[in-house]
Amino acid sequence: MEKLLILKLSDKDRTIPFGNDEELVDRANGSWRISLSKINGVKRALLLFRGRVLEEYEIGSKIIADTSNSNRLTFDMTIVENSDFKNKILDYRTANPASVVEVEKIKYRDE
């Protein structure tokens, strides 16, 4: 069963670099509060804003764990070209900005 890392940007954030792939991947790499055990085996991530998939990323082999800062993880991701998920709207309700979901359990919303 394939899993994806879901990274949700805040609805209140007004500094999201839409249209700038380099700055967007920097934001996705970010500093996310999620444990290494939860992302074990996860190879790809989706970056969401208000449910819409802004981009799909492949998670690189380097993950930096900052144990002094609430176990935050920083990733080394690259854009997945021709993503099947990009621009789709997910029905994914969780307060947690970083979580993992099984691909088979992803549900979509109409625009």
pTM of the model: 0.93
4: three-class secondary structure by DSSP: strand
Instruction: Note the pLDDT tens digit of each residue in 62-79.
Output: 999 987 877 899 999 999
> Between the CA of residue 45 and those of 55, 68, 103, what are the distances in Å?
8, 24, 11
Q: How many CB atoms are closer than 10 A to CB 76?
A: 14
**Torsion over CA of 90, 93, 99 and 104, rounded to 10 degrees?**
-50
Domain chopping of the chain, boundaries: 3-105
Instruction: Note the pLDDT tens digit of each residue in 77-106.
Output: 999 999 999 999 999 888 899 999 999 999
